[in-house]
Amino acid sequence: MAAVTSGNWANVYNSSAVPFPWNIANTGSGKINGSFPIVSQDIESKGFEIEATVRPIRNWDLTFNASKVKATQVALGASTSAFVMKEKEFFSTAAGKLPLWGYWGGTGGGTSTLYSYFMQNIWSAYQLQTAQTGTMQPELSKWNFKAITNYTFNRGVLKGFNVGGGVRWASKPILGYGIALYTDSEGNQTWVMDAKKPLYGKIDQHADMWIGYQRKLTANIDWKVQLNVRNVGENPHLVPVSVLPDGTWAQQRIEQGQTFELSNKFMF
């Protein structure tokens, strides 16, 4: 730390096991005290939600819900931004021309420089976060709609039975971004993520249904049994949660598919 403070970079780290240069990631795959660094953000969320419940006829209930949300990044952490800018200033000097996997006074196995490594792995992500200011947050559906219906029979052979169903729909979320060729003031070119090229996921839509029966067991005890079917007609499948710049799925989650749930309730 004394060498770092005085600017004596040549003696910050020197070991026969790990010769110079000391790469940007350092030990621990870029972690600091066991954790990856996180850039703080100021997020502003605005939207509305409308819900209505109506009863067209006796024993038939209908509920509708619609919501719209826009969550945008309004600023990045000032201290982190200042640190990244100082890093860029440093690696834009002769220090950035050092080979990433090379050695002092020798040849290395790679051709990448500290500057290009910084631009591709740190500056690129920082530029994306900066460009996202004022844009929609990723993995968030802008629109959501829900509708639920239920009918209860109170006479005849079906007295005590109830049937119902529901639908859920969410618009496509942003799961990633395309890339663009960035040219700095010195003519160096690097591929960086472009917030103007959002890549969207899939529309999320499902249907549910149920049937139940309720009756009195005694004067003070009611019994209700109900069978719920969730995600009607669906098979287990993968759903993307993040994508690569070319649109290829990078991460997926498992959508459960059709499920059944049988419940018994005693009310007293």
Task: Report the C-alpha gap between 128 and 137 in whole angstroms.
Answer: 12
Task: Report the C-alpha gap between 226 and 238 in whole angstroms.
Answer: 29
pLDDT at 12: 60
Domain count across the chain: 1
pLDDT digits (tens, 9 = 90+) for 237-248: 999 998 988 889
pLDDT digits (tens, 9 = 90+) for 129-166: 787 777 777 788 999 999 999 999 999 999 999 999 99
Residue that wins the pLDDT comparison between 224 and 95:
224
Domain that includes residue 62, residue range:
38-267
Task: Report the C-alpha gap between 91 and 186 in whole angstroms.
Answer: 13
> Can you tell me whether residue 105 is helix, strand or coil?
coil
Residue that wins the pLDDT comparison between 207 and 116:
207
Instruction: Answer yes or no: is 17 within a domain.
Output: no
Q: Break the chain down into helix, strand, coil percent, rounded to 5.
A: 20, 45, 35
pLDDT at 57: 93
Residue that wins the pLDDT comparison between 97 and 25:
97
Least confident of 33-47, 61-75, 79-93, 228-242: 33-47
Q: Which pLDDT band holds residue 100 (cuts at 50, 70, 90)?
A: confident
Instruction: Answer yes or no: is 208 within a domain.
Output: yes
Mean pLDDT of 67-95: 88
Least confident of 78-92, 119-133, 164-178, 227-241: 119-133
Residue that wins the pLDDT comparison between 228 and 119:
228
CB 84 within 8 A of CB 122: yes
Residue that wins the pLDDT comparison between 198 and 19:
198
Terminal C-alpha separation, the chain: 70
Instruction: Answer yes or no: is 33 within a domain.
Output: no
Task: Report the C-alpha gap between 170 and 198 in whole angstroms.
Answer: 17
pLDDT digits (tens, 9 = 90+) for 9-43: 666 655 555 444 444 444 455 666 666 667 778 88
The yes-or-no verdict on residue 257 having pLDDT over 70 is yes
pTM: 0.68
> Mean pLDDT score of the chain, rounded to an integer?
83
The yes-or-no verdict on residue 231 having pLDDT over 80 is yes
Instruction: Answer yes or no: is 7 within a domain.
Output: no
Q: What angle do CA 112, 117, 120 make, to 5 degrees?
A: 120
* Count of H-run helices and E-run strands, the chain: 4, 11
